[in-house]
Amino acid sequence: MDLKFISTHNQVGYLAPPPEKHKKLYTSLIKGLNCCRIVHALRENPVVYESLVQEFWKAARFDALGAGGKGAIVAEIQKKSVTVTEQMIREVLQFNDQETDPIDLPAGIVEAILPRLIYEGTYPSLMKKFVHPYWRLLVHMFILCMTENRGGTDQLSITQSAAFVCLITNQPFNYSKYIFKGMKGNVIGV
């Protein structure tokens, strides 16, 4: 299966102090991001060769029996076997999450947090344009850095909204499983 390569994936977040023009509004947000559980994944900027990523997705397949029955994505890149598992994502991206952490939240919990974002839309789904500009920057960074969205960057799915709410409230969330599930969906065509 030849999976589509999305050039806007693998973005990195810019978490340095904001420019003077935006300093008052965004300094606390940037400080918070620099202390959050996903900071390594947001700001780590390894050299990523587009040709290798394309080769990976071209050859990727899901092995349901891999990783002790938990599933793995396997591919061959430059004649070398590459395996991606949830645990590998956890270790490489340093999420400090647990295998038992949830990847979903009840809608009521998400809806209870939305007023704190000064959200003016309806839920589900969470639309970036209806969020206060302070939080809109964070939603935008989250979409670019932490979602598998292929098209627009204005909407979070129910699971993505749960991940976002857990990020801003520092609740447990299995970001590793969430990312692995998105990768698996790309492989199996979901």
- Token reading at 76: 């061959």
CA atoms within 13 A on the CB side of 144: 14
The span from the CA of 116 to the CA of 89, in Å, is: 31
Phi, psi of 103, deg, nearest 5: -120, 10
- Using a 10 angstrom Cβ sphere, with 0-12 exposed, 13-18 middle and 19 or more buried, the burial of residue 189 is exposed
CA-CA-CA-CA torsion sign (81, 61, 13, 165):
negative
Q: Are 139 and 6 in contact (CB under 8 A)?
A: no
Q: Which residue stretches of 60-174 are H helix?
A: 66-69, 86-93, 107-113, 133-146, 158-169
- Tens of pLDDT along 63-105? 999 999 999 999 999 999 999 999 999 999 999 999 999 999 9
The span from the CA of 8 to the CA of 48, in Å, is: 13
pLDDT in tens, the chain (190 residues): 444 555 555 455 566 676 787 777 777 777 777 778 888 877 777 777 888 989 999 999 999 999 999 999 999 999 999 999 999 999 999 999 999 999 999 999 999 999 988 999 988 888 999 998 888 888 887 888 788 776 667 889 899 999 999 999 989 999 999 999 999 998 998 7
The span from the CA of 135 to the CA of 64, in Å, is: 38
- Tens of pLDDT along 47-60? 778 889 899 999 99
